[in-house]
Amino acid sequence: MNRLVRWLEDYVLPLASRLGQIRWLVALRDAFISLMPITIAGSLAVLIKSLVIAARDHLGWETFAYLMQPLVSISNLVWRGTFSLYAFFFALALGYQLAKAFEGNRLAAAIVSLSSFALSIANVAQIKFHGDNIAVKNAFDISQFSTTGLFTAILFGSIGFAIYLACYKGRIMIQMKANLPHAEQAAFDSMIPAMIAIFSIGGINYLFQVMKGKYFGNWLLTSIQEPLVKWGQGFGTVLLVTLLVQVFWFFGINGLGVLSPIFDSIWLTAQNGNITAICNGHVPPYLWVRGSFDVFAWFGGAGGTLMLIVAILIFSKRTDYRTIAKISLAPGIFNIGEPILLGLPVVLNPVYLIPFLLTPVVNVAFSYWISVMGLVNPVQVAVPSIMPPIIGPFLACNYDWRAIILSIVDMLIALAIWSPFVIAADKIADTNNPKTFFSTQF
């Protein structure tokens, strides 16, 4: 056990520390986080619409559905102003967060990032007319502003910002001798760097269209984004990232924070794809998405530590452990695991290494194959991370009662894994206590 911990300290911990210090990754993570309000608002709109449809189709509440039609219409509008423009908002947020990380003009950087994204997507929309597909030029397809264009927003938002920042830091700007108001001075300072960045992105896209005969954004979607998202649906991939999050957390590093760019780029894209499909009345295309980890593995926080708290309250006889568990219970119900992780502690505690790594992996594996067999709906609604277990899965799976059963089974599995180690921790603590040791010897 000690050898394993030392190996992780020598090889994994330095990697996690370096990843956590890369400013671009930090900005990418913060950009996703900053869009939480529109993510939750769009998901709530889908939940409301789904609830009305379920009441009409399964309960026969025709009058209720008729009365709720204005609310459904409002929900459709909310969805169109949130999820259907997700990549649009993300491009703005990414430029802002990059400028914050690299100390540039935040508003100008956000505008440059958005413009770079808009330059890179097709200005041709496909519409159906009498069964035929007709291309309409000089029109944006709104789907390109949703998560469909997310990778385009990340790539060209970052490139556009990089060019802008290089020019801005290089003082390639109009030198004004007159004293101007701050807003005007900032605009003049950013004008030349922004123009260079935008024209550079335009040139890149033009050359790509000449050489490949297609828009860069369309090529990026079919060649990189879709294969990556599909790769994220693989069983091995899902287990690997689950294990990595746990390893980082064991050393006190927020694994979700470190790996957030990967999680959000791949699995949040899939989740938003499911939400969009449900809103349009289609079958959700993805089996495992960002919210699947939260509702089926990380109840109580990373490691499924809510069941560690329950195991301590059931099996532990140590007053100090039970006190910490009681304090951590309320936060744990709302998936806040820091009190038990740092208070017990679980972090850097070799006794709890195996269950801390094993519990989420087993829960993810079990839930994944239950989803593969079609015994529960895939996650198709984004719910806040603080949503308690049982309630969270029920809402995330779009009112699927089977998700409640799966959540309960997952928690029982977690309890079964944690309990022997809680009992062992009690015995180890008693052995290391001199008073207990001598009382048992004599």
- According to DSSP, the β-strands at 132-137 and 124-129 are antiparallel
Distance CA(398)–CA(89), nearest Å, equals 25
Q: Locate tokens 């499909």: which residue?
A: 277
Reduced to 3 states (helix: H, G, I; strand: E, B; else coil), residue 373 is coil
Tens-digit pLDDT string for the chain (442 aa): 566 556 666 666 666 667 667 888 888 888 888 888 888 888 888 888 888 887 887 677 888 888 888 888 898 888 888 888 888 999 999 999 999 988 888 899 999 999 999 888 877 777 766 667 777 777 776 777 877 788 888 889 999 999 999 998 888 877 766 677 777 778 888 889 999 999 999 999 899 888 888 788 878 888 888 888 889 899 999 999 999 888 888 877 777 777 777 788 888 888 888 888 888 888 889 999 988 998 998 888 888 899 999 999 999 888 888 998 998 898 888 888 888 888 888 887 888 888 999 999 999 999 999 999 999 999 988 888 788 898 989 989 988 899 999 999 999 999 999 999 888 888 776 655 544 433 333 2
Phi-psi region of 193 (alpha: psi -120 to 50; beta: other; left: phi over 0): alpha
CB-CB contact of 289 with 271 (8 Å)? yes
Q: Locate tokens 């009382």: which residue?
A: 439
Distance CA(195)–CA(116), nearest Å, equals 11
In order of 2, 304, 342, the CA distances from 357 in angstroms are: 15, 10, 16
pTM of the full structure: 0.76
In order of 42, 60, 307, the CA distances from 47 in angstroms are: 9, 18, 28
Q: Locate tokens 């910002």: which residue?
A: 161
Distance CA(65)–CA(95), nearest Å, equals 42
Phi-psi region of 374 (alpha: psi -120 to 50; beta: other; left: phi over 0): left
Q: What is the DSSP string of 40-66?
A: HHHHHHHHHHHHHHHHHHHS--HHHHH
